[in-house]
Amino acid sequence: MSYDLQRTSGRTRFAAKGARNATLAGLSRQSGGHNLRNRIFQGVLLVTVSIALIGLAAILIDAFNKGLPRLGFDIVTKSTSANPERAGFKQAIIGTLYLMGLLAVMVVPLGVASAIYLEEYANSRRWYNKIIDINIQNLAAIPAIIYGILVLAFVVRGPIGIGFILFAGAVALTLLVLPTVIIASREAIRAVPPSIRDGSLALGATPWQTTWRQVLPTASPGILTGVILAISRAIGEAAPLLLLGAATFIRFNPSIFEGQYTALPVLIYNYARRAQEGMIPLAAAGVIVMLIMLLLMNSVAIWLRNRYQKKW
């Protein structure tokens, strides 16, 4: 009987060894196929990213070559002019700062409040919340000109009828970046560890107290980063502003609720399309000014994220 047991054990070990070898051989072949596909996919991604970066670098190099000789503090203080030697971006910079301020005032409470509702209070199983969630993601991909048309139809000339003023342009830009702010704020709130909520509720805090005093302060670095990046995207939009009455040539400082206004991308477009010699370098200098503003805003976003972000 002991001989039979030894023979059975030997067969079992032999069968197990054969099965292990077969499994390892199959995995090796499968791994080799996966590695080949991964290398091909990585190569395609590398080529695609390289093409995009080369195109962006070529545009930036061309802008700096043309704009650096014209760049100076005087283009920030000089007013709009048809003479390239006396032209500047003073009114456009003021209008852009007004738009950024109004945009922040409108988009932050709306975006953060919507994100809080969807993440902390909304029942994701309800059909209307599912529709809201899907539509927010779809609205983030709509072209900017569509929002300009909507504001033109309902705010500028429609039932509200406020006219072609700077506030109308700020409304269009708010609608443009609101889905992005909501999505970024939801991600930041979702990243807050559940233990913080559970601990606060266990100590007797209400859900609103937990959200206001625990969740929002913890998620604030991610929320602020998303807001700043969204505003950075908005200040480069020219199409909705042109549709909503942004002037390509004004000599007076713009106002928020009356009169004409302009912005950096609009004035850059105006200078770039003119035939006078010296206008193209001036437009390129305006591009550099806008890039500096964007870099400053992105730097602030990175600093806020690194300064206040907590690791759990």
DSSP 214-238: IIHHHHHHHHHHHHHHHHHHHTT--
**Interval 59-110: pLDDT, tens:** 888 888 888 888 888 888 888 888 888 888 888 899 999 999 999 999 999 9
CA distances from 2 to 8, 9, 16, 179 (A): 10, 10, 21, 75
Burial of 70: CB neighbours in 10 Å, binned 0-12, 13-18, 19+ = buried
Reported confidence tier of residue 7, pLDDT bands at 50, 70, 90? very low
DSSP letter, residue 69:
G
Q: Average pLDDT, stretch 173-194? A: 92
Average pLDDT of the segment spanning 151-155: 90
What are the start and end residues of each CATH 1.10.3720.10 domain in the chain? 73-308
pLDDT attached to residue 304? 75
Closest CA to 177 of 126, 124, 150, 139: 139
pLDDT of the residue at 8: 43
For the chain, first and last CA: distance in Å?
A: 61
Predicted local distance difference test score (pLDDT) of residue 6: 44
Give the tens place of pLDDT for each residue, 8-19.
444 445 445 555
CA-based nearest residue to 151, from 133, 165, 141: 165
Fill in the DSSP letter of residue 117: I
* CATH code of the region 73-308: 1.10.3720.10
303: its two tokens: 């600093």
Distance CA 38, CA 179 (A): 34
The answer to whether 145 and 174 are in contact (CB under 8 A) is no
User: What are the tokens at 10?
Assistant: 């030997």
Q: Band of the pLDDT at 185, cuts 50, 70, 90?
A: very high
* Residue 31 scores a pLDDT above 60: no
Amino acid present at 253: N
Report pLDDT for 18: 55
pTM of the model: 0.78
